[in-house]
Structure 1
Amino acid sequence: MLDEYKTVLSEVFCDVLMRYAFMFGEECEKESILLDNPDYLHVNVSFNGYKNGNIGILASPELCIEMAANVLGTDMEDDNCANDAKDALAELANVVCGQFLSSAYGSEPIFNLSPPSVSEVSELEWQEIYENDNSLTFMVEDNPALIYLDIEQEAEV
């Protein structure tokens, strides 16, 4: 991932976390992240148009439940938060993707976004994304999170 994209993605992710979920995220060195919970959720939003690619976020279910509670304005123990955790993560990814594209390319280019797709990931899948040069690591309310960006490169003529 180009350094300019990394900076924009990091800033957008932290800003959207703060404004949407009332949570604070801080980018950190990959080596400082400990995987203490192998059960992570993965959301992916693909886009096409001016550029083609996708943005993905990996987060623990606990982080997603806390996010849902913040968004809904309820306690984390509320049953709705556990039920809405995947939806909260999906909406976060959707907003991050839209904001990233606007920040990186301006408001003129047109992009089509796919609906967010949420799934559970294995520890091996987490490790593969973690080791990918296109991923960034964050601590969000004392929970690790990964975000990545893949953009198709244009063929050189």
Structure 2
Amino acid sequence: NLITGTRYMNVTGMLPFEDEVADYVKRTNNHVLYRVTPVYKGNNLVAEGVKMEGYSVEDKGRGVCFNVFVYNVQPKITIDYATGKSSLSGDKSENSSVSDRKNSYSSARKKVSKVQRYILNTNTKKFHLPSCSSVNDTLIKNRKSFKGDREKLIKEGYEPCKRCNP
């Protein structure tokens, strides 16, 4: 199924979860139950967002486990979800409900980003997103998988990679 979605929804909201699933399957050859469901309000032509769910089967969710809502928004753009029309923010057509959605999305994204999967380099004390090309440059003996809060890693003395900027 296809829906009309913004680049921001896809790249900022969905891609980190898609990468997590792809990396897990590639690394373990295990199975993941994965579902993305568009969510519409009333008779709107454009989805408010999507519900994304992922659960790794063989390890009962230890490798992949998420259930998130990703808002269909785009910074600086006002979307009329009922008609599908859009305009630059600041135009007369902008309304507070779209601004509220943007604020909700930012808030939800911050909450979601607290629990993330990272690959640690225990030698250099850098941490990376699983999809970062620097992970391939890390010796296997120095790699460690971590799922949790970014701030916890920083408190433990790890620094974010400058390439993937996790």
TM-score, normalising length: structure 2:
0.28
**Relative CO higher for 1 or 2, CA cutoff 8 Å, sep ≥ 6?**
1
Which has the greater radius of gyration?
2
Greater helix percent: which structure?
Answer: 1
TM-score, normalising length: structure 1:
0.29
